[in-house]
Structures are given as C-alpha cells and as structure tokens.
C-alpha cells in the first residue's frame, strides 16, 4: 500500500498491486487493473519510488522471517 494525495489535498492509501499504469497528462493519473483511475499530486517518479520502497520493505520482512 502507498499513500498518495488527491488534487484537493486529501491523502489516501492505494493498493499498489492494482496499478496498471501511471501517466503524466500533465497531472499524474494512476490507472488500476479494475478500470478505476486516480488523479494525484505526486509525480510519476514519486509514485514509482513509493511502490518500489513498499515492495522492498515487504522483501526485507520476508528475508527476516526466513532468518528466524
């Protein structure tokens, strides 16, 4: 899950596993596999960074569990 911000300033959490594409039109639009779309304040690069950081944190947790 990643936190993003609507254009009106409202923050919400999005299931990053459902992201199909992220485009700059010029606002950033996140398209989900279920057909929904969200226009957010974050740049495409920031959305990608947040998804990457979230997935890395999941991988770290899995590795820690394997070590115990």
> What pLDDT, in 10s, does the model give residues 12-27?
999 999 999 999 999 9
Report the alpha-carbon distance of residue 34 to residue 67 in Å, rounded.
37
Is residue 6 within 8 A of residue 39, CB to CB? The reply is: yes
Is residue 23 within 8 A of residue 29, CB to CB? The reply is: yes
Q: Is the peptide bond between 26 and the residue preceding it cis, with omega within 30 degrees of 0?
A: yes
Question: Across residues 1-11, what is the average pLDDT?
Answer: 98
Question: Across residues 40-68, what is the average pLDDT?
Answer: 90
Sign of the C-alpha dihedral, residues 5, 13, 22, 29? negative
- Model-level pTM greater than 0.85? yes
């Amino acid at each position: 899950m990643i936190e993003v911000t609507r254009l009106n300033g409202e923050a919400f959490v999005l299931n990053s596993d459902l992201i199909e594409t992220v485009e700059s039109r010029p606002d950033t639009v996140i398209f989900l596999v279920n057909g929904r779309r969200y226009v957010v304040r974050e740049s495409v690069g920031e959305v990608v960074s947040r998804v990457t950081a979230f997935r890395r944190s999941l991988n770290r947790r899995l590795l820690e569990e394997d070590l115990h």
